[in-house]
């Protein structure tokens, strides 16, 4: 039992690299939250607008899919959508076949705001990209534990 447990432990762990990665990700999150606040949005509202506009496919999303994308319960997503509709950032429509299905899409006003926010986010990402690339390369090339295939 003891030998089996020892084999499962990582051979090398780059704690500094992992800590640095979390630090850089948190710094970007703080930057993003601050940029959203300056634009008059909460971080969650910014994330919701971005999730709707960036959702694959038709450019609109159901409230349920938005909730899943944001890691929210459906009723919390409904409240968020209500607030964004009230501020004229989202439009709500019902499904043609199933009126219970609620779709949301961004308004032209939200598109303009997201365009400006995305520009400053891209600039910040360009600034930190070399640090992230080097760190990810370093973390990806560290030898990890060798796992033996389990017998069938």
Q: Which residue has the higher pLDDT, 48 or 16?
A: 48
For residue 90, count other CB atoms closer than 10 A to its CB.
Answer: 26
* Residue 44 phi, psi dihedral angles, 5° rounding: -70, -40
Instruction: Report residue 11's pLDDT band, with 50, 70 and 90 as the boundaries.
Output: very low
Supply the pLDDT for residue 121: 97
Residue showing tokens 């694959």:
56
Residues shown for the chain: 152
Domain edges within the chain: 38-139
* pLDDT score at 148: 53
Average pLDDT over the chain, rounded to whole? Answer: 87
pLDDT at 152: 54
48 against 11, higher pLDDT: 48
Provide mean pLDDT across the span 18-25. 93
Predicted structure pTM score: 0.78
What are the pLDDT digits (tens) for 73-125?
A: 999 999 999 999 999 999 999 878 888 888 999 999 999 999 999 999 999 99
Alpha carbon distance 69, 76 (integer Å): 12
Q: Environment class of residue 148 by beta-carbon count within 10 Å: exposed (0-12), middle (13-18) or buried (19+)? A: exposed
Window from 5-19, 41-55, 92-106 with minimum mean pLDDT: 5-19
Angle at which helix 43-53 crosses helix 108-141, to 10 degrees, equals 90
Which CATH fold would you assign to the domain 38-139? Arc Repressor Mutant, subunit A (1.10.10)
């Amino acid at each position: 039992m003891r030998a089996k447990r020892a084999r499962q432990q990582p051979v090398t762990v780059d704690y500094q690299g992992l800590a640095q990665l979390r630090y850089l990700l948190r710094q970007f999150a703080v930057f993003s939250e601050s940029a959203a606040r300056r634009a008059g949005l909460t971080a969650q509202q910014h994330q919701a607008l971005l999730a709707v506009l960036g959702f694959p496919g038709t450019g609109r999303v159901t409230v349920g899919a938005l909730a899943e994308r944001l890691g929210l319960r459906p009723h919390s997503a409904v409240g968020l959508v209500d607030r964004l509709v009230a501020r004229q950032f989202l439009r709500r429509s019902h499904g043609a076949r199933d009126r219970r299905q609620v779709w949301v899409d961004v308004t032209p006003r939200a598109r303009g705001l997201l365009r400006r926010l995305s520009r400053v986010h891209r600039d910040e990402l360009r600034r930190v990209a070399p640090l992230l690339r080097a760190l990810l390369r370093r973390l990806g090339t560290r030898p990890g534990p060798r796992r033996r295939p389990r017998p069938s």
